[in-house]
Chain A
Amino acid sequence: MNRRESIKNILLGSLAGGALLRSCTTVTPDQMADVIWQYQYGRTPQEKALDEKLLNTKYFSDAERELIRVVANLILPPNESGSIEQAAVVPFIEFMAKDIKEFAVPIREGLTWLDVQAKQKYGQIFVACNPESQKQILDTIAFELPQKKEQPQEIKFFKLIRNLVVTGYFTSEVGIKELGYVGNTPNVWDGVPQDVLDEMGLAYDPEWLAKCVDQEKRNETARWDKKGNLLT
C-alpha cells in the first residue's frame, strides 16, 4: 500500500451506511458537451466512459443543489482567497453522490431534514431563512455527541457534507492557493530551508549530508569505479 492510501485508511472513517442511488434524470446534450470537455486527465477509454455517464446524469434537483450551495457557504464562508462557487464545490459533491453510491441517500435525506427543521422553526425552507436562523439549525448537528457511540443520522450527514465541502474547496485551484501548497511543479529539492531548521532547532548531520546529492552535479553522467564508488 502506498503512503497516500495508508494515510487514507488511518484518517478516514467509514462515512455513511449502504443505500442505492435513486431517481436520476439526464441533462441536455449541450450541457453534456460542456462537462466532458472540462476534464482531460489521462483516462482509459473505460474510465472515460464511466466519467461521462456520471457527469451526464443529474442526481440532485435544482433546489437541492441550491441548498447544498447555501450549506457549503456556511461551512466555508467566502473570503478574499475564494469561494465555494469558485471552487466548484457543488458540482464536486453532486459527482461524488453518483460516484460513491453510499453517499447519495444520506445526503438527500440530510437536505430534506434541513428543510423540515427550517419549516418547523421558521415556517420556510432552509435557503429562505436568514443566515442566523440557518446557523441555529446547523448548530444542532455540527457537533458530535460525545456520550453517544452511534451518532444520529443528521449528525452523520453534517460530518459527511462538511468533509466533502472541505475537500472540495481545498482541492480546488483557489483552495490550494489558500492552503499554500506550492509543489506539483518541476524543481530541485536541496533540503529544508535554513530558517525552518533554525526555528525547529534542527540541523543536518554533516556525516549524513556528505552522502547526499550535490545538485550542482546532477547533470553529470554517473560513473563508478569497480567497487561502486561514484566518481562523478
Chain B
Amino acid sequence: MQIIEPQKNYDVIIVGSGAGGGMATKALADAGLKVAVVEAGPFFDPADPKTQTQFKWPYESPRRGANTQRAFGEFDMAYGGWDVEGEPYNLVNGSSFHWFRSRMLGGRTNHWGRISLRFGPRDFKSKDRDGLGENWPIGYEDLKPYYDKVDQLIGVFGSKENMETEPDGFFLPPPKPRLHELMYINAARKSKVAVIPSRLSILTKRINQDRGVCFYCNQCSRSCSIYADFSSGSCLIFPAQKNGGQIDLFVNAMVKNVNVDKNGRATGVSFINKTDNKEYKLKAKVIILAASACSSARILLNSKSTAHPNGLGNSSNLVGRYLHDSTGSDRAAFIPALMDRKRYNEDGVGGMHVYSPWWLDNKNLDFPRGYHLEVWGGMGMPSYGTGFNLDDLNKHLGLELGGYGNRLREDVKRFHGAVVGISGRGEAIARKDNYCEIDPSTVDQWGIPVLRFHYKWSDFEINQAKHMHDTFEEVLTNMGGKLLGDRPGKEKKYGLHNPGLIIHEVGTTRMGDDPKTSVVNRFEQMHDVDNVFIVDAGPFLSQADKNPTWTILALAWRTSDYIINEFKKQNF
C-alpha cells in the first residue's frame, strides 16, 4: 500500500475535533503551537446553509423528520449514530452496549443537549463515601479555575444556588420557565425534590461579537447557525483559526494508529483518507487523542509495537477497561390540565429551563450514587410521530379507542402540548469487567480492527432505575398527570436503558498516580509514553450524576496548559 508522508512537522497532532479536541486546539493554537487536527468526518460549519437543518419544516423532507437516516430524526446534527455503515462493533457474552459516533468536525458537540454541569468536590472523591470505584487523583480545586475559564469563554446559563454538590460558576442568566416547567417546579417541591434553573451552554446574553444571542427556536440539536450554542467548531476551532492559529484541519481522515520510534516514543499518526482511500502519515512532537473514550482506546490498542506489545501505553492492561455510561430511564404522563391549550410560541432554548440535581443521601438507599432529573414537554414543532397512538391518551379520558374523522383531528389538536415527561440520568460505578477490546475477527471498511464490548449493569444501577421510576410517578402524579405506558418491572431492569444509549461513555483510559492501576497521570499524559495525552472522557474515573462535557473541557484546557509549559521548558 502506498503511504504518503507530508514533510511538515507539527508541534501537536490532535485526533478528534469534539469537546476535548476543540478545547486543546483553541488553547494550543492560541499559544502559538503548530497544530494538526485530524477528524474522521467531513468539515462542518453550523452556519453553512448547504448543511443547515435549523428552521427547516418537517414538510421540507419526504420523511417528515423520521429517524431512518439519523438516529434522533433527520434534522438532528449528528452524522452517524449507534450504527455507522462500514464501522461495525461486536458484543460479547450477552453484553449490551450501543456506541454512538458522530463523524463530522465538532463531533457530537453539534447535537448534544448542552447540559453543562460542573462536578462538585465530592464527585472526585466518591470512594471516600461508599468505598466503591476509585477516587480521582485531582480534586475540584484543581479544576475550578478551568471550569471558571470555560464558563467565560463558551458561555453557560444558570443561577447561583450555593449548593456544595452543584458548584456555582460564571453564569449567564437562565430563561424563565415554560408552563409545564412551572407545574414541574410545584410538583417537585411538593415531593421535596430539589429544583433549580438548568445550566446549559446556550447564550441567553451576548458574550462577544463573533457569536449570536439565543433566539429561542429550541433547535440546538440541529447546531446553531448563529453560534448561540456550544459546538466545538463554532466556539473553539473557528475562533482559534480566526485568531491566527497555525491549524491544519485534516477531515475525512480515519486515524488507524499512533506511530512510535524504536524507543517507544510517539512520532505521529497514520490515517486513511476516506476520499482517496490512501494511507497518510503525519509527524508531530506531541500526540493528543480526543477521539472519544472508545475510539481513543481503539487507536491505542491498534498501536502495537515492539516497545508496546499490548498496544500503546497499555503496560497496565487497563486500556479499554472501566468503561461506563450514565444510567438513564424515562417516563411520560398525559396532563389533562394541559389539554386545549392556548397557542403561543414556547419553543424556548433547546433543552429544559429547569432541572433537579440529585437531592438525597445515598446512605439511606439501596444504590450508592445519585441521578438528576430532566423535564420535557411543551407545544413543540410537529414531526414524524405526531398524532401516533392517540388512544394512549384517550383511554385516560374513558373514550372509545380508535376511529377516524373529525373527532380524530380534534383530538390531535386538543392533546397538543399535553404530554410531559421526566428523564433520570445517573451515575454508574466504573467496573473493570465492563470494557472494550480489539475484536480479532472483524475489521471496518478500511481494514482497521474494530472493538468488541463487554458490559453488564449491576444491581446498583438497576436499583437506581427503580428509584427513578418511584420519583417519576410521584412527581408526574403531583402534576395531575396520568402515567403513560406501564411501569417497567424487574425483568426489564426497571426501564434502565442499555449502556451507551445515554452517550456519556467514559473511563477507558483512567487517570491515576500509579502506572499499574491507571493509564494516564493527573495531566492526562500517558504513564508509558510522555508525549501522548488523552483529552476526551477516557481519563474519567467516575462521572458523577452530571453530564461529562464541561469536565472534558476543563480537563482538556488544564492539560493544554501543562503541554504549553512543557514546550516552554523544551521537554518536547
- The complex places the Cα of A77 from the Cα of B403 at a distance, in Å, of 13
Task: Say yes or no: B57 contacts A219, CB within 8 Å.
Answer: no
B416: contacting residue among A74, A77, A180, CB under 8 A: A180
B382 in the interface (beta carbon within 8 A):
yes
B268 within 8 A of A: no
Q: Give A30-44 interface residues, CB cut-off 8 Å to B.
A: 35, 38-42, 44
Q: Is the CB of A76 within 8 A of B63?
A: no
Q: Is A163 in contact with chain B by the CB < 8 A criterion?
A: yes
Q: Is B132 part of the contact surface with A, judged by Cβ < 8 Å?
A: no
Question: Of B69, B186, B408, B423, which is within 8 A of A47 by CB?
Answer: B69
**Looking at the complex, which of B242-250, B311-319, B336-344, B510-518 is the stretch in contact with chain A?**
B336-344
Tell me the residues in window 115-160 of chain B with beta carbons closer than 8 Å to chain A beta carbons. 148, 151-152, 155, 157, 159-160
A171 touching B386 in the complex, CB below 8 Å, given contacts A77-B405, A185-B55: yes
What A residues does B177 contact at CB under 8 A?
Answer: 191-192, 204, 208
Q: List B143-198 residues whose CB lies under 8 Å from chain A.
A: 148, 151-152, 155, 157, 159-160, 168-179, 182-183, 185-186, 197
Cβ-defined contact, A195 with B331, below 8 A: no
CB distance from B282 to the nearest CB of A (A): 25
Stretch at the interface among A6-14, A104-112, A115-123: A6-14
Q: A6-B423, A220-B205, A221-B207 known; A92 and B170 CB under 8 Å?
A: no
**Cβ proximity bits B381-425 to A, threshold 8 Å, 1 near / 0 not:** 111111111111000000011111110110011001001010100
Interface string of A173-203 (1 = CB under 8 A from B): 1011011111111111111110111011010
Q: Is the CB of A167 within 8 A of B171?
A: no
- Whether A183 contacts B217 by the Cβ 8 Å rule is yes
The answer to whether B179 touches A202, judged by C-beta atoms less than 8 angstroms apart, is: yes
Residues of B within 8 A of A221 (CB): 205-208
**Interface status of A144 (Cβ within 8 A of chain B):** yes
Q: How many A-B residue pairs have CB under 8 A?
A: 313
Contacts of B216 in A (CB 8 A): 186-189
Contacts A7-B421, A220-B206 hold; do A228 and B389 have CB atoms under 8 A apart?
A: no
**B:457-501 near A, CB below 8 Å:** 484-485, 497, 501
Query: Is the pair A142, B404 in contact by a Cβ cutoff of 8 Å?
Result: yes
Q: Inside 8 A of A35's CB, which chain B residues have their CB? A: 62
Q: Report the nearest B residue to A173, measured CB to CB.
A: B59
Distance between Cα atoms of A161 and B51 in the complex (Å): 32
Those of B291-340 within 8 Å (CB) of chain A: 328, 330-332, 337
> B71 within 8 Å of A by Cβ?
yes
Most chain B Cβ neighbours within 10 Å, of A2, A5, A6, A163: A2
Q: Chain A nearest CB: distance from B303 CB in Å? A: 29
A222 touches B389 (CB 8 A): no
For B, the interface residue count at a CB cutoff of 8 angstroms equals 118
Is B183's CB under 8 angstroms from A202's CB?
yes
**Among A41, A77, A192, contact of B182 (Cβ-Cβ < 8 Å):** A192
- Report the minimum CB–CB distance from B54 to chain A (whole Å): 9
Distance in Å: Cβ of A148 to nearest Cβ of chain B = 13
A11 to B216, CA, bound (A): 26
* B419 CB contact (under 8 Å) in A2, A7, A172, A190: A7
Complex contact B205–A213 (CB within 8 A): yes
Q: Which residues of B contact A58 (CB under 8 A)?
A: none
Whether B261 sits at the interface, judged by CB under 8 Å, is no
Q: Which residues of A contact B62 (CB under 8 A)?
A: 35, 38-39, 51, 54-55, 91-92, 95, 99
What chain B residues lie within 8 Å of A7 (beta carbons)? 332, 376, 385, 419, 421
Q: Let me know if B215 is at the binding interface, CB within 8 A.
A: yes
Q: Which residues of B contact A181 (CB under 8 A)?
A: 343, 379-382, 416
Are A228 and B148 in touch, CB under 8 angstroms?
Answer: yes
A13–B386 CA distance with the chains assembled, in angstroms: 13
Is A11 a contact of B197 with CB atoms below 8 Å? no
CB pair B404–A39 under 8 Å, yes or no, is: no
Q: With the chains together, A7 CA to B484 CA distance in Å?
A: 11
**Distance of A168 Cα from B168 Cα, bound (Å):** 46
Nearest residue, chain B, Cβ from A91: B62
Contact with B along A139-182 (1 / 0, CB 8 A): 00011101000000000001100110011111111011011111
Q: Give complex CA distance A143, B155 in Å.
A: 52
**CA gap between A158 and B404 in the complex, in Å:** 10
CA distance in complex: A162, B385 (Å): 11
Chain B residues lying within 8 Å of A20, measured Cβ to Cβ, are none
The answer to whether A224 touches B385 (Cβ under 8 A) is: no
Q: Which of A38, A50, A163 has the most CB of B within 10 A?
A: A163
B61 within 8 A of A: yes
Interface string of A28-72 (1 = CB under 8 A from B): 000000010011111010010011001100000000000000000
A10 close to B152 (CB less than 8 A): no
Residues of A contacting B331 in the complex (Cβ-Cβ under 8 angstroms): 10
Complex Cα distance, B404 from A74, in Å, reads 7
**Contacting residue for B61 out of A41, A142, A189, CB 8 A:** A41
Interface centre among B205, B218, B337, by most A CB within 10 Å?
Answer: B205
- Cβ distance A161 to chain B, nearest Cβ, rounded Å: 10
Chain A residues within an 8 Å CB radius of B234:
none
Contacts of B170 in A (CB 8 A): 224, 228, 230
Tell me which residues from 67 to 81 in chain B have a Cβ below 8 Å from any Cβ of chain A: 67-69, 71-76, 79
| Chain B 104-123 interface mask (CB, 8 Å, partner A; 1/0) | 00000001010000000000
Assembly CA distance A42 to B63 (angstroms) = 14
Question: Given A11-B388, A178-B413, A228-B168, do A222 and B403 touch, yes or no (CB 8 Å)?
Answer: no
Which of A3, A162, A205 is the one whose CB lies under 8 Å from B185? A205
B382 touches A144 (CB 8 A): no
Which single residue of chain A is at the shortest CB-CB distance from B50? A42
A129 CB-CB contact with B under 8 Å: no
Q: Are the C-beta atoms of B343 and A180 separated by less than 8 Å? A: yes
CA distance in complex: A196, B402 (Å): 31
Greatest chain A CB density within 10 A among B148, B206, B219 is at B206
Q: Which of A11, A162, A214, A218 has the most CB of B within 10 A?
A: A11
Q: Does B52 contact A (CB under 8 A)?
A: yes
Chain A residues near B178 (CB, 8 Å)?
192
Q: Choose among B68, B345, B400 the residue that contacts A100 (Cβ–Cβ < 8 A).
A: B68
Residues of A within 8 A of B346 (CB): 183, 189, 192
Interface string of B343-359 (1 = CB under 8 A from A): 11111110110000000
Q: A1-B72, A1-B330, A3-B352 are in contact. List 12 more A-B contacts (CB 8 A).
A: A1-B328, A40-B60, A41-B74, A92-B62, A95-B62, A167-B385, A191-B176, A195-B342, A196-B342, A204-B176, A209-B176, A221-B205
Q: Could you give 11 example pairs across A and B, Cβ below 8 Å?
A: A5-B73, A7-B419, A12-B385, A91-B62, A99-B66, A159-B389, A166-B386, A180-B343, A191-B177, A192-B178, A228-B169
Q: Which 6 A-B pairs have the closest CB atoms?
A: A166-B387, A186-B215, A143-B402, A171-B58, A3-B376, A191-B176
